[in-house]
Structure 1
Amino acid sequence: MSNKFNANALTEYSRSYARRVATDFYQKHATINGQQILSLTPISQINMFVLSSLSDKWQADAAKFRSPYFDFTDADVQEALQNFMNVVSQHICVRREHLEPLLADAARRTIIMIFDPRAYFDEILRSQPEFTLTAAALKHITRYTKINQFIPAHITQRIKDKPFVYANQAIGYLDEALTQRGHELEHYDKFVALFSEKLPMDVSALLRSHVPDVIPNAPSRSFFDTATESTVPPAPLVAAEVSPSTETVQENATATVAPAIPPQPVPASVEEIKESLKEISAHPAPVDDSDVSGPMFLQGGAGPEPVAPISQPSQLQTGAITQPATSEPAQPTVPAATTPTLNDTIREAAPAEPANSIAETFHRAPIESIARSISLNQKFRFINQLFNGNASEYSQAIQEIDTLNNYGQALDLISDQYASQYIWDMKSDEVSELVEILKRRFS
């Protein structure tokens, strides 16, 4: 999810809004049908997202209906099954306990689309199966998009006549649309007013920082087909050739609207990722004994390490730094009245152990669970740096890796799926630390 939002506030508001809407509707009705969903809230995007969720479940149920004992490829069977599903779709009937979670999710997605359209579409494109955007999937996205429709329309034009494109290429088209036509993004004020009619929306509490006034660079047929037909003509597509007059318009727009975000880096191939993982495996990452939870310094570091008392064993690896040849290191100033603690007394009495002996033993020891071996600080860094802030994807990945049988399977999984999908920097500390944890898990 976009890091522009206060996640807890967004979730709580979405649930409260859904609860309020559901309460008002179900006071007079026991169930809700398709036509009533279309007018459930004054924000058509929320209503369409609810229908989109129902459509997905409808398709999933149809797939479950197939049996290995019958020929579902037969033309008569396919036609009969399609007719059956079309008839069923005309009789939507949802009770409150089933609708309210769908409504809360629809409200949450709509809020993200309004305040951070780039993050919304980026997440949709990255979540496509096999990191590939097909023409059918793009058609489904376009059908259920009612806010900033020019974005999927632009992507549709760019992949015209192609059966699919890779998600990172589609993300490039997304940034292109926002750069060229960012001035067309719908302003959030009117939607805040519509939300507030049912439940007051405090924008300052919902967002980490307030959004600027200009958001920069955002029965013969199924019910789901007829319900999503737009009565408003789609936004004009961007011409392939840019005329001089168009260039002038774009220059004027650029003067007030900054590009949404710089183009994303092109992901490495799976083969390059696997080679990088092999190299990382052969050169283990330095041991990090600490779980830094305090404020971070510039460049994402934790700041300079404090100078350890002379009586404590060094935590630096042998040969990690060059000792000064002529000058003595400055000793920390210790107040004269300080009374030695029991730990200090024990350290002075005990013989000094070789540098890193305890730390190395602990950090290289085999582990039974990856999730339990990751520190809180590492977890936050893995989520932010490796999974683009998506905590649920991080949890799913860790659980899946924990079920594997060996180290090779783990490397194959992260190289074939996660490193490609989230465009990992294979030279980052987070990748090295994760590989080191995998080695301990499957040693």
Structure 2
Amino acid sequence: MSYKLKQESISSFSTATAADICTEFFAGKNKISGESIMALTEVRQVNSFIIESLFTQWQSEMARLRSPYFDFEAEEVQKALKEFMNTLSNHISIGRGHLEPLLTKAIEATILLTFSPKKYVLNHWLDEQKENLPKGKLRYIKTHTEGFKLIYDTAKTPINPAYLGNLFDSMTSHFKIPEPVEFLQKLNAEDKLSLLFEKEEAAEPAPSPVFTPEVNEPLEVKSTVAAKHGNGKETINDRFNGNTNAPTLAEKLQKNTAQPLEKTLTLNERIMFTKTLFEGDQALMTKVFEELDTANSMDEALSKTQPYNKKWDIEGDEMEAFIQVLRRRFN
């Protein structure tokens, strides 16, 4: 079964889905923090686009800071503004009325990027003069990342829609479209499948003739392992191949979730978190993860990080990786 995206339904689907997500999140809450935005949905691209909208708004407001009396371009001023931004990003606090439009817009962009990446490229990857690809866009792309990076690195100026479309067509193998049902499950919106997609029935090929070879009656199969060998002894291979008590993948995963959270980190994650999030303090990182081990939910874990995340860059790869570690435990 294949599905076709209903372009005309993207807006209505996104509006309805954003409302459902907000209703669930804001039940008993008045505001959402930056950390919670990073974990708002299981679709990383949606969360990333919300953050992009926030920082686009920030840049717009900062652009208005101009004065005939003060030099806002001075190096020290720029450094101070950056530090101020890092501090402010860890104190994001948004009510439902302001989050829901951002979430709706993020879902719309994510659907287009995920299921119609060429249209997304043509609609969102040309600047106003249609000559260059927008700077800074790649950091917010979490889907089809390899394909978008190739386009960004390969494109030559000047750029026009025809050139960009042809460039995309030459790289379609790097854009693998996911299954719609799996995507919608991550948004808890699988009940809206028919709203966003229409089924396309594939023509079934004519059945091939079946050839059934004549088979001689099998000899009596001896049931015991030892009986398979003339000397009556069980081999090492027999023992291991016949072992039915080996743990299943599900059992291994279940066992893994019972481990202390810090022990589930990969080497790269351990190095990244120690160096960036905990400023080289291994003992502090261990302390924080021990506190996270006592959490019973994603929200509780995020709240436990608040005393330590004052200098964390909410846009950084480290923060995103940290969120994914928590997802592995609590989702």
Structure 2 residue 178 is matched with structure 1 residue 206? no
Q: Which residue of 2 aligns with 1:328?
A: none
Structure-to-structure mapping, 1:77-156, within 5 angstroms: 77-126=77-126, 128-134=127-133, 137-138=134-135, 140-156=136-152
Structure-to-structure mapping, 1:16-95, within 5 angstroms: 16-95=16-95
Give me the whole-angstrom Cα distance separating, in 1, the residues matched to 2:49 and 2:186. Answer: 16
Cα shift at 1:228: 7.1
Secondary structure, in 3 states, of the residue corresponding to 2:315? helix
Match of 1:166 among 159, 167, 192: 159
Change (3 A) 1:220 1:27: closer
Q: Which residue of 2 aligns with 1:177?
A: 171
Cα shift at 1:165: 4.5
Contact kept? 1:62, 1:85, Cα under 8 Å: no
Give me the whole-angstrom Cα distance separating, in 2, the residues matched to 1:230 and 1:145. Answer: 15
Give me the whole-angstrom Cα distance separating, in 2, the residues matched to 1:145 and 1:153. Answer: 9
Change (3 A) 1:166 1:91: same
Structure 2 residue identity aligned to 1:131: K
Give me the whole-angstrom Cα distance separating, in 1, the residues matched to 2:112 and 2:319. Answer: 21
Contact kept? 1:147, 1:186, Cα under 8 Å: no
Cα shift at 1:201: 1.7
Change (3 A) 1:35 1:211: farther
Change (3 A) 1:220 1:73: farther
Match of 1:224 among 315, 319, 324: 315
Give me the whole-angstrom Cα distance separating, in 2, the residues matched to 1:166 and 1:100. Answer: 34
Give me the whole-angstrom Cα distance separating, in 2, the residues matched to 1:74 and 1:93. Answer: 30
Secondary structure, in 3 states, of the residue corresponding to 1:185? coil
State the Cα RMSD in Å.
2.8
Identity %: 27
Give me the whole-angstrom Cα distance separating, in 1, the residues matched to 2:313 and 2:65. Answer: 18
Cα shift at 1:78: 1.6
Contact kept? 1:21, 1:198, Cα under 8 Å: no
How many residues get paired? 211
Give me the whole-angstrom Cα distance separating, in 1, the residues matched to 2:130 and 2:201. Answer: 33
- Deviations 1:200-256 (CA, angstroms, capped at 9, x unpaired): 1233x424x54688xxxxx6674223467669xxxxxxxxxxxxxxxxxxxxxxxxx
Give me the whole-angstrom Cα distance separating, in 2, the residues matched to 1:225 and 1:37. Answer: 14
Give me the whole-angstrom Cα distance separating, in 1, the residues matched to 2:77 and 2:11. Answer: 43
Gaps of 5+ in 1: 214-218, 232-443
Secondary structure, in 3 states, of the residue corresponding to 1:131? coil
Give me the whole-angstrom Cα distance separating, in 1, the residues matched to 2:68 and 2:313. Answer: 26
Contact kept? 1:89, 1:223, Cα under 8 Å: yes
Cα shift at 1:115: 2.3
Cα shift at 1:188: 2.8
Secondary structure, in 3 states, of the residue corresponding to 1:29? coil
Change (3 A) 1:174 1:31: same
Cα shift at 1:116: 1.5
Give me the whole-angstrom Cα distance separating, in 2, the residues matched to 1:52 and 1:212. Answer: 38
Give me the whole-angstrom Cα distance separating, in 2, the residues matched to 1:48 and 1:108. Answer: 13
Structure 2 residue identity aligned to 1:148: H
Cα shift at 1:67: 2.3
Structure 2 residue identity aligned to 1:107: I
Q: With CA pairs under 8 Å and 6+ residues apart, which has the higher RCO, 1 or 2?
A: 2
Gaps of 5+ in 2: 203-309, 323-331
Secondary structure, in 3 states, of the residue corresponding to 1:129? coil
Give me the whole-angstrom Cα distance separating, in 2, the residues matched to 1:30 and 1:36. Answer: 13
Structure-to-structure mapping, 1:320-335, within 5 angstroms: none
Structure 2 residue identity aligned to 1:70: F
Give me the whole-angstrom Cα distance separating, in 2, the residues matched to 1:227 and 1:130. Answer: 34
Q: Which residue of 2 aligns with 1:5?
A: 6
Structure-to-structure mapping, 1:192-341, within 5 angstroms: 192-195=184-187, 197-198=188-189, 200-203=191-194, 205-207=195-197, 209-210=198-199, 222-226=313-317
Q: What's the TM-score, normalizing by structure 2?
A: 0.56
Q: Which residue of 2 aligns with 1:190?
A: 182
